[in-house]
């Protein structure tokens, strides 16, 4: 008799406790607001609206041209899609007038840029504001004014675009920068090459040398006022330093019986690292530009070349074929054996450290194809961004987000051209140049 009764009690108690737990569960669970995980977002160009900047006096075509360059810069990144003016509901008639956000929301413009241009004599003033339409605010720090000479209108356009780009994306811009490259002409087996500089988008080309001698691999100094390159003017490859303002040239380290090539500045601009070939062996050396002191950084029977400093100047990434095929190594800036970081199939060359320090870009050849790729500085996360008959010689944009490189087509009539690609592998595009071009090197952002 006792046993069944006890079982009934037992059951009732368990049921009561269970019921209590069930009733209290929702109360306890709702002690904080419901948490909802937003699923996968989308990656698509952000719709922006940039009505033609207002002419506030004497601007004429400048207002329209500046607007065009700003749109071209932003759309060229692949991050943005400009909504044409024909779709605009509101018209911006006054720079300081109000903005009807609802009108811009209606056409799905996520960012609105308004601007005004005025010209007085040869002075031009450009001012702009960028709005976050759906948040109903001005983008913080994106309301500025630039002033300068009318000749500099294009640079001002790039600066406007740089500010907008950096405020929206959270990373630095790169539009107000230049690229030095080798302009080519003539048949493939008798190419004539000369140095040229242009805006990052291919505009404003200017030539720095004539085509009497071969020039290769130009590199900007960290301040953009000097260029290092390899010249065959003496019949042998020699590193030459050019002052961009005066075009004065100076050959570095003229040692008889040697060849010097693949130069690059240190981050402080005071040192040059390069390859020196002597007696059939190539090693990496550094040269102090102030004292002229030469230091040997590698000492191996193999070919060590293509050195590139890390942004903090403490390390150098370079290419070596000491294991039989070209691979990428990192060594201290003071020199040493180096540690291999490339580990995939194929041959690796022309490593370049990102200005942000997070990636190393390289050329890779594998299974008859050439690639431009990036990897982390420890060799992990290797990503190939391009593939073609011949892609080589990457150079970083000042913000470390975009790479420019040389692509050459196959065949006797094959020509070199300049291309750029985002480090995600998106937005591959050709840079317009007057003729064949190769060996691009990006400058830092202009002051």
* Chain residues 36-65 in contact with other proteins, contact rule CB under 8 A: 36-47
Q: Which is nearer to other proteins, 91 or 293 (CB)?
A: 91
Q: What Å distances lie between residue 311 and 125, 171, 354, CA to CA?
A: 35, 17, 7
CB of 310 to other proteins, least distance (A): 18
Residue 97 touches other proteins, criterion: CB under 8 A: yes
| Alpha-carbon gap, residue 173 to 126, rounded angstroms | 18
* Number of residues lying near other proteins (CB under 8 A): 164
What minimum distance in Å lies between the beta carbon of 37 and other proteins?
4
Contact (CB, 8 A) for 420 and 401: no
Q: Is 252 in the site for other proteins (CB under 8 A)?
A: no
Out of 120, 134, 301, 414, the residue judged to bind other proteins by CB under 8 A:
134
DSSP state of 50: -
Residue 329 CB, shortest distance to other proteins, in Å, is 11
The secondary structure of residue 444, as a DSSP letter, is P
174 close to 399: Cβ distance less than 8 angstroms: yes
Nearer CB in complex with other proteins: 1/29: 29
Q: x-or-dash pattern for other proteins, window 190-219, by CB under 8 A? A: xxx-x--x------x-xxxxxxxxx-xx--
DSSP letter (8 states) at residue 66: H
- Report the residue number, 41 or 292, with the smaller CB distance to other proteins: 41
Q: Of how many residues is the chain composed?
A: 447
Sole window of 53-61, 64-72, 103-111, 293-301 interacting with other proteins (rule: CB under 8 A)? 103-111
The minimum distance between CB 64 and other proteins, in angstroms, equals 19
Of 144, 147, 156, 146, the residue nearest 123 (C-alpha): 147
Check binding of 258 to other proteins (CB under 8 A): no
The nearer residue to other proteins, 55 or 75, going by C-beta atoms, is 75
Compute the least distance from the CB of residue 427 to other proteins, in Å: 7
Least gap, CB of 246 to other proteins (angstroms): 9
Provide the sign of the torsion angle of the four alpha carbons 246, 443, 319, 387, taken in this order.
negative
Q: At 22, list the tokens.
A: 């069930």
Q: In 3-state terms, what secondary structure has residue 12? A: helix
CB of 174 to other proteins, least distance (A): 13
Binding residues among 352-381 for other proteins as defined by CB under 8 A: 363-365, 368, 370, 379, 381
* Under rule CB under 8 A, residue 32 binds other proteins: yes
Q: Which stretch binds other proteins (CB under 8 A): 54-62, 188-196, 250-258, 287-295?
A: 188-196
Choosing from 55, 56, 72, 107, the residue that interacts with other proteins (CB under 8 A) is: 107
- Fill in the DSSP letter of residue 432: P
161 in Cβ contact with 173 (< 8 Å): yes
Give the whole-angstrom CA distance, residue 121 versus residue 140: 32
The angle formed by the CA atoms of residues 317, 195 and 242, to the nearest 5 degrees, is 70
CA distance 267 to 286: 13
Please give the residues from 75 up to 94 whose contact with other proteins meets the rule CB under 8 A: 75, 78-81, 83-84, 87-89
Positions 145 through 164 that interact with other proteins (CB under 8 A) = 145-149, 151-152, 155-156, 159, 163
Binding other proteins (rule: CB under 8 A), the pick from 357, 430, 434, 435 is 430
Query: What does the alpha-carbon distance between residue 65 and residue 119 come to, in Å, rounded to a whole number?
Result: 13
- Give yes or no for residue 121 binding other proteins (CB under 8 A): no
Contact residue for other proteins among 52, 221, 386, 395 (CB under 8 A):
386
Taking the least distance from each CB to other proteins, the nearer of 140 and 257 is 140
Segment (H or E) for 168: helix 153-169
Token reading at 261: 């090539």
Q: Which stretch binds other proteins (CB under 8 A): 56-64, 182-190, 250-258, 290-298?
A: 182-190
Site string for other proteins, 389-428 (x = CB under 8 A): -x-xx-------x-----------------x---xxxxxx
Radius of gyration of the chain (CA): 29
Nearest CA among 132, 94, 125 for reference residue 111 = 132
Question: Shortest CA distance to 333 belongs to which of 284, 371, 262, 378?
Answer: 284
Q: Which is nearer to other proteins, 292 or 447 (CB)?
A: 447
- End-to-end alpha carbon distance in the chain: 97
Residue with Cβ nearer other proteins (22 or 290) = 22
Handedness of CA 342, 346, 352, 354 (dihedral sign): negative
Contact at 8 Å (CB) between 283 and 261?
Answer: no
- 68 versus 347: smaller Cβ distance to other proteins: 347
If the CB atoms of residues 281 and 314 are measured against other proteins, the closer one turns out to be 281
The reply on whether position 20 binds other proteins by CB under 8 A is: yes
Q: Does 326 bind other proteins (CB under 8 A)?
A: yes
């Amino acid at each position: 008799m006792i046993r069944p009764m006890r079982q009934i009690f037992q059951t009732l108690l368990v049921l009561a406790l269970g019921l209590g737990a069930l009733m209290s569960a929702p109360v306890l669970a709702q002690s904080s607001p419901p948490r909802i995980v937003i699923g996968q977002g989308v990656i698509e160009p952000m719709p922006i609206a940039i009505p033609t900047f207002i002419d506030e006096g004497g601007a004429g075509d400048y207002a329209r041209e500046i607007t065009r360059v700003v749109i071209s810069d932003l759309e060229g990144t692949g991050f943005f899609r400009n909504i044409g003016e024909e779709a605009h509901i509101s018209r911006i008639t006054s720079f300081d007038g109000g903005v009807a956000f609802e009108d811009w929301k209606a056409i799905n413009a996520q960012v609105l840029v308004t601007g005004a241009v005025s010209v007085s004599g040869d002075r031009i003033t450009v001012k702009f504001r960028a709005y976050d339409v759906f948040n109903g605010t001005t983008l913080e720090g994106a309301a500025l004014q630039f002033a300068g000479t009318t000749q500099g209108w294009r640079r001002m356009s790039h600066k406007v675009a740089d500010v907008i780009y950096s405020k929206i994306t959270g990373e630095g811009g790169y539009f107000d920068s230049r690229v030095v490259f080798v302009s080519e002409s003539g048949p493939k087996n008798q190419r004539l090459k000369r140095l040229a500089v242009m805006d990052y988008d291919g505009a404003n080309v200017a030539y720095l040398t004539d085509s009497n001698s071969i020039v290769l691999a130009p590199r900007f100094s960290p301040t953009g006022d000097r260029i290092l390159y390899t010249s065959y003017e003496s019949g042998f490859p020699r590193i030459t330093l050019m002052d961009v303002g005066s075009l004065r040239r100076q050959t570095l380290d003229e040692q008889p019986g040697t060849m010097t090539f693949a130069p690059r500045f240190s981050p402080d601009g005071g040192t040059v690292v390069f390859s020196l070939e002597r007696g059939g062996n190539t090693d990496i050396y550094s040269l102090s530009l102030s004292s002229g002191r030469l230091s040997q950084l590698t000492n191996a029977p193999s070919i060590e070349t293509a050195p590139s400093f890390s942004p903090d100047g403490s390390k150098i990434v370079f290419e070596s074929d000491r294991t039989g095929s070209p691979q990428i190594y990192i060594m201290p800036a003071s020199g040493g054996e180096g540690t291999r970081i490339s580990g995939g199939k194929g041959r690796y060359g022309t490593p370049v450290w990102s200005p942000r320090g997070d990636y190393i870009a390289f050329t890779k050849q594998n299974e008859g194809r050439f690639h431009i790729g990036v990897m982390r500085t420890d060799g992990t996360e290797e990503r190939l961004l391009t593939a073609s008959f011949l892609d080589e010689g990457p150079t970083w944009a000042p913000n470390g987000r975009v790479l420019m490189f040389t692509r050459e087509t196959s065949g006797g009539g094959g020509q070199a051209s300049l291309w750029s690609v985002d480090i995600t592998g998106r937005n591959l595009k050709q840079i317009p140049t007057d003729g064949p071009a190769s060996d691009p090197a990006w400058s830092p952002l202009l002051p």
